[in-house]
Amino acid sequence: MVAGTGAYHHGDDAALGAAPVLGVADGRTRTLRRRATVEDVLRSVA
């Protein structure tokens, strides 16, 4: 984390894509948020 960068140059241009979020209950897993694809990352910076 870099402190004090301000809000003007913060973006997804260097993003690697979001990791998936999984939930676990009673020994079973469930996808709560899917992994970001290359297309997702490119769409967010276009």
Whether residue 31 is predicted with pLDDT greater than 70 in this model: the reply is yes
* Closest by Cα among 19, 18, 21, 20 to 41: 18
For the chain, what percent of residues have pLDDT higher than 90? 35
Is-above-0.85 flag for pTM?
A: no
Spans of all domains in the chain? 1-46
Confidence label for 35 from pLDDT (cuts 50, 70 and 90): very high
Q: Is the dihedral of CA 29, 32, 38, 39 positive or negative?
A: positive
Q: How far apart are alpha carbons 20 and 28 in whole angstroms? A: 16
